[in-house]
């Protein structure tokens, strides 16, 4: 009797182990470290107008976590509200980088004000679809470094000016870009970054044998704007969600991953 019961327990245990073993490693990893469940109110934010002439309704506040921090220089200003799609994108990307190259947190600058509209120091950032993200960086010995502010980097990946002791973290920054452009829910339109750092990142992606589709998207999404070289942060913009159009408005470029049909020119 006793022996039969023990045998049954062992059988059940073996079955449980087999089912865990059959799950893919990445699925198991994500189950163990799933990001906090989105609160219901997140689904209710609304982006109105353009990123440079718009507002945000019921903006969602980005919170710090084990994988994500607010850059101290901007932390007190309270411009950490975004469309829920953007906030979740940042959380997913931070978690992913942590899983693939552990040891550092994603450093986030400013998103939008709680109700959007003009934000000092930015031309866009008005309707919850823009965010400034600090680069992952290390000290000269390769240890992750969380800086008080954004730091500029040159083509050689070495910090400029007072930040000569810092290094651009190619591996983590590439993982971040790869995760952003591959996201299926929030579709990224722009990642502004200097030409020199863009070239470093694509080189890193090729060295890591990233899928051609991810490299292609990254190459097309990353660009250096004419008036602001973006040597010290990424500026990321996501497209409007289809159900928020036409109140939420996008302008070209409309890449193939634009969700839904692009609006007619001038509409
Ligand atoms: Zn920006």
Domains and CATH numbers, the chain: 30-244 (3.30.1380.10)
User: Three-state DSSP class for 130?
Assistant: strand
CB 146 within 8 A of CB 46: no
State residue 142's pLDDT score: 95
Distance 23 CA to ligand 1 centre (A): 40
Distance 131 CA to ligand 1 centre (A): 6
Distance 132 CA to ligand 1 centre (A): 5
State residue 21's pLDDT score: 41
Q: What is the pLDDT of residues 128-169, one digit of tens each?
A: 999 999 999 999 999 999 999 999 999 999 999 999 999 999
Q: Which residues contact 61 (CB under 8 A, 6 or more apart)?
A: 80, 81, 87, 114
Long-range pairs, 136-140, Cβ under 8 A, ≥24: 136/97, 136/104, 136/106, 136/107, 136/169, 136/172, 136/173, 136/176, 137/166, 137/167, 137/168, 137/169, 138/166, 138/167, 138/169, 139/165, 139/166, 139/167, 140/165, 140/166, 140/167
Distance 110 CA to ligand 1 centre (A): 7
- Percentage of the chain beyond pLDDT 90 is 76
Distance 188 CA to ligand 1 centre (A): 14
State residue 34's pLDDT score: 55
Distance 169 CA to ligand 1 centre (A): 20
Q: Residue 17 above 60 pLDDT?
A: no
Q: What is the pLDDT of residues 183-234, one digit of tens each?
A: 999 999 999 999 999 999 999 999 999 999 999 999 999 999 988 889 999 9
Q: Residue 240 above 80 pLDDT?
A: yes
Lowest mean pLDDT among 21-35, 110-124, 138-152, 173-187: 21-35
pLDDT band at 8 (very low <50, low <70, confident <90, very high): low
Distance 13 CA to ligand 1 centre (A): 52
Mean pLDDT, the chain, whole residue set: 88
Distance 138 CA to ligand 1 centre (A): 23
Q: Residue 264 above 90 pLDDT?
A: no
Distance 133 CA to ligand 1 centre (A): 8
Q: Residue 69 above 50 pLDDT?
A: yes
State residue 16's pLDDT score: 47
Distance 238 CA to ligand 1 centre (A): 12
State residue 23's pLDDT score: 40
Q: Across 21-25, 59-63, 223-227, which has the greatest mean pLDDT?
A: 59-63
Distance 125 CA to ligand 1 centre (A): 7
Q: Residue 256 above 70 pLDDT?
A: yes
Segment 27-38 shows an average pLDDT of: 49
Ion ligand 1: residue ranges with CB closer than 5 A:
132, 235
State residue 214's pLDDT score: 97
State residue 266's pLDDT score: 52
Nearest Cα to 235, choosing from 226, 225, 243? 225
**pTM over 0.75, yes/no:** yes
């Amino acid at each position: 009797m006793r022996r039969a019961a023990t045998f049954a327990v062992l059988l059940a245990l073996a079955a449980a182990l087999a089912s865990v073993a059959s799950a893919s490693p990445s699925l198991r990893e994500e189950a163990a470290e799933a990001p906090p469940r989105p609160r219901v109110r997140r689904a209710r934010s609304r982006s109105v107008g353009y990123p440079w002439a718009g507002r945000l309704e019921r903006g969602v506040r980005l919170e710090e976590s084990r994988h994500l921090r607010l850059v101290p220089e901007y932390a007190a200003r309270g411009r950490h509200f975004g469309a829920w799609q953007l906030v979740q994108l940042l959380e997913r990307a931070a978690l992913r980088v942590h899983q693939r190259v552990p040891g550092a947190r994603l450093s986030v600058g400013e998103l939008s004000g709680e109700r959007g509209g003009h934000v000092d120091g930015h031309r866009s950032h008005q309707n919850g679809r823009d965010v400034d993200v600090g680069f992952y960086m290390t000290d000269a010995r390769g240890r992750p470094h969380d800086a008080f502010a954004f730091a500029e980097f040159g083509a050689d990946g070495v910090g400029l000016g007072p930040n000569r002791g810092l290094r651009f973290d190619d591996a983590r920054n590439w993982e971040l870009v790869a995760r952003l452009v591959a996201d299926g829910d929030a579709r990224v339109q722009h990642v502004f970054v200097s030409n020199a750092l863009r070239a470093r990142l694509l080189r890193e992606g090729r060295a890591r044998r990233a899928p051609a589709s991810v490299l292609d998207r990254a190459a097309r999404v990353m660009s250096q704007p004419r008036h602001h070289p973006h040597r010290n942060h990424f500026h990321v913009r996501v497209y409007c969600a289809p159900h928020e159009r036409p109140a939420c408005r996008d302008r070209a470029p409309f890449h193939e991953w634009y969700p839904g049909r692009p609006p007619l020119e001038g509409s």
